[in-house]
């Protein structure tokens, strides 16, 4: 009868260890699935942020093109106006005096300085967009690292096997000592005499 109790106790301990192992595996798999879903969400958000930034870049590029066109048109308009003014005073727009040349140089200087400022501002905006893209990417990587950093490795099959083997060895030793498998102490051998 005692052998059955030892066997039953061993089976319960082995079943408990196997159940705990399976529970740890299930919890680890659930954590992994949650991390994968979070990473997919983070990546989709980063993708959307990149699209939004690209749309802003296109708008800035169009604005830059229009502004540059308008500045060049303004330079041509001012040169034509100056030539018309010069023609009205002297009668020939080709006769360039010191003041006419200075006026043209001034128009071009101001116009081209405005174009140079426009170019510098546009380049600064392009650099800003590149930094924003990099920040979006780094943010997604950081969030994905955070999602995967606390993952459990699951149950340890080797540890579970050792636990079951240890339980079996302990119960075998208890049986040889004659310990009661239910109480854990005392002897189960008859003391002699009749009852």
How confident is the model over 13-70, as pLDDT tens digits?
888 888 888 998 898 899 999 999 999 999 999 999 999 999 999 999 998 888 888 8
How confident is the model over 102-122, as pLDDT tens digits?
777 888 888 888 888 889 999
Contacting residues for 95 by C-beta, under 8 A, at least 6 apart = 86
Asked whether the CA dihedral 31, 37, 43, 48 is positive or negative, the reply is: negative
Q: What stretches of the chain show up as alpha helix (H) in DSSP?
A: 2-90, 98-149, 157-177
Alpha carbon distance 40, 37 (integer Å): 5
Parse the chain into domains and list their residue ranges.
2-175
């Amino acid at each position: 009868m005692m052998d059955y109790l030892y066997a039953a106790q061993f089976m319960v301990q082995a079943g408990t260890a196997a159940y705990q192992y399976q529970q740890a595996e299930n919890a680890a798999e659930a954590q992994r699935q949650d991390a994968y879903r979070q990473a997919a969400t983070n990546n989709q958000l980063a993708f959307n942020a990149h699209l939004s930034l690209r749309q802003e870049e296109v708008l800035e590029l169009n604005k830059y093109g229009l502004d540059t066109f308008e500045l060049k048109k303004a330079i041509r308009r001012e040169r034509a106006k100056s030539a018309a003014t010069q023609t009205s005073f002297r009668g020939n727009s080709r006769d360039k005096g010191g003041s006419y040349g200075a006026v043209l140089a001034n128009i071009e200087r101001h116009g081209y300085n405005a174009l140079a400022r426009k170019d510098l501002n546009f380049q600064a905006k392009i650099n800003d967009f590149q930094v924003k893209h990099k920040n979006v990417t780094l943010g997604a990587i950081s969030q994905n690292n955070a999602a995967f950093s606390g993952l459990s490795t699951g149950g340890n099959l080797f540890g579970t096997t050792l636990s079951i083997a240890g339980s079996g060895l302990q119960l075998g030793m208890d049986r040889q000592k004659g310990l009661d498998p239910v109480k854990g102490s005392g002897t189960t051998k008859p003391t002699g005499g009749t009852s």
